[in-house]
Amino acid sequence: MKAIREIMATSPISCGKNETIQSVVSNMSKSNIGFLPVVDESKKVIGTITDRDVCLAIGKSNKPVHELKVHEVMNKNTHLIRQEEDVASALRIMRTNKVGRLPVVDTDNHLKGIVSLTRIARKIKDSQDKAELEYAGKENVINTLSAIAERNQSKKSVEESAEE
């Protein structure tokens, strides 16, 4: 299988923990993305923030968007992958943690890129070697997508139960 460095998106956009949510929304909108790694001053990944995190925070907070800070909203339980690891490792992390995107880091956890399930699927589809897509083990695109969908389905079930 390919190394993550071969398929990751390089030059990722990120944000700092003290940026405003208004700034994050602007950057996400301009770049047509829904996920940003949160980095410290040395570009070490300290969290992530998604468009969903932003929406939920805005709905729960009484603060104006220009006062709400990333550190109040970000997910600190971040799953990372190293650039020398392979696609199967990324799919395992995504499947077991039910996430669709991972910051790619070096050995010091400095941000180097981002890999998403969508990007993996596109790279495999466009490659000459379909074996990665058809891999029969747990670490394939279909099993990973299914695990993420189950996460979303279980959240829906909880929400539906709360409405009854």
Beta-carbon contacts of residue 127 (< 8 Å; ≥ 6 apart): none
Per residue in 88-129, pLDDT (tens digit) is 899 899 989 999 999 999 999 999 999 998 888 877 766 655
Residue spans of alpha helices (H) in 32-138: 51-60, 70-73, 87-97, 117-126, 131-134
Question: E strand or H helix at 26, and its extent?
Answer: helix 21-31
Per residue in 122-163, pLDDT (tens digit) is 777 666 555 554 455 556 666 676 666 776 555 544 444 444
CB burial readout 53-64, b (16+ within 10 A) else e: bbeebbeeeeee
Q: State whether CATH 1.10.357.140 applies to domain 4-157.
A: no
Q: Where are the domains of the chain?
A: 4-157
d(CA 117, CA 92): 11
Q: Are 91 and 1 contacting, i.e. CB atoms less than 8 angstroms apart?
A: no
